[in-house]
Amino acid sequence: MPYIIDGKTIAKEILQKVESKVLELKTNLNIQPNIATVLVGNNTASEIYVRAKLEAAERVGIGAQLIRLRHEISNQELSTVIKGLNQDKEVTGILVQLPLPTGLNPNIVFELIDYKKDIDGFGIYNTGLLNHWNTNILPCTPQGILHVLKKYLGNDLSGKKAVIIGRSVIVGRPMASILIKESCTVTLTHSKTVNLKQECQTADILIAAVGVPLLVKTDWIKEGCFVVDVGINRYDDKLTGDVDFENVKTKSSHITPVPGGIGPLTVANLMLNALKLCYLQNNLDLSWIANEVL
C-alpha cells in the first residue's frame, strides 16, 4: 500500500518548533523576527497565499506587516520600497509575493532584496551560496521537499536517482542543487526534454513541479517510486497536481497529495526561514536546526 504523506501534520510539527524558538527569543533576548510582505496588485491567488503566510506568522509569534502596492507601480517605485525595507532595522525578513503584474521586472526582487533578509531564499546571492553548498537559507518549497524525503527515506539519500520535472528558480533548479549535495544522481527535465516519460521511469524519487495538470501517469513511474507533486492547478473546477494521483498512488511507495501535501510545508518553511534569518542577524547559534527540523 502506498503511504500518502500528510503535509499538514508535518507542517504543524515545524510550526510548533518555530513557535517555541520564537518564544525563547522574546523571553530571553527580547528579540522578535519581523516579516515585511509586499503584495503588488490584486491577484486573487496571491491574496490567498499572502493571507496564509500572515496567519502562519501570527500563529508562531512572528511580527508581520503587509505592504500593498497598486498594480500600476513602476519598476523604480518597487525598487525604492525594497531598498527601504533593506535599511529598516525593524524588518528581519522580506517577502515579495510573485508573480508580479505584467510590466514589472522580477529581477528587481531577485537582485535587490538583502540576502540577509531573503526569506524565500531564491535571490541571486543566496542562489550562489546554495550552489556552493554554503547557505543556511534554502528556498522554502525545496526545503519542505527535503524534509519529507529525509523523514521517510532517512538522512542518507546517497545513490538515489532523482528526476525533477520543471526548471524554475523557485523549485526545479534549487531542488537539483540540494539533491546533488545529498549525493543523489539528479536529472533535471523541462518542456524541451526528449523522451520525458522514459526519463521519469528511471526515478527512485520523482518531483513534479511543472504546472501541467495530471501530466504524470501510472506508466511514467517505476514500481515503488517516491512521488512528490508540487503542482497546483485548477482542473475540472477543483485543485489538482501535476500527478494523476488516484492512479499513480497504486504504484508509488510514497506520494504527496494536492492539496494538503507540499503546499502547507512551503508556508511552514517560510516561517522557519524567517526564524533562521533572525538568528543569523543576531549572531546566534543555529546548531539546533540540524537535530530538530531541516
The reply to whether 97 belongs to the active site is yes
168 is in an annotated binding site: yes
Q: Which of 114, 118, 120, 204 is catalytic?
A: 120
CA distance 170 to 268: 16
14 is in an annotated binding site: no
The DSSP 8-state label assigned to residue 5 in this structure reads P
Q: In terms of C-beta density within 10 A (0-12 exposed, 13-18 middle, 19 or more buried), how is residue 74 classed?
A: exposed
The reply to whether 217 belongs to the active site is no
Q: Which of 21, 97, 229, 276 is catalytic?
A: 97
166 is in an annotated binding site: yes
Q: In the structure grid, which three cell numbers stand for residue 166, read together?
A: 520543471
What residues contact 67, with CB distance under 8 A and at least 6 apart?
36, 37, 38, 39, 81, 85
| Cα-to-chain-centroid distance, residue 18 | 16
How big is the chain by its Cα radius of gyration, in Å?
Answer: 19
Q: Which amino acid is at 103?
A: G
The reply to whether 53 belongs to the active site is yes
What residues contact 153, with CB distance under 8 A and at least 6 apart?
160, 205, 226
Q: Which of 53, 117, 160, 249 is catalytic?
A: 53
List the catalytic residues: 53, 97, 120
Annotated binding site for NADP(+), which residues? 166-168, 232
Q: Which residue numbers belong to the known binding site?
A: 166-168, 232
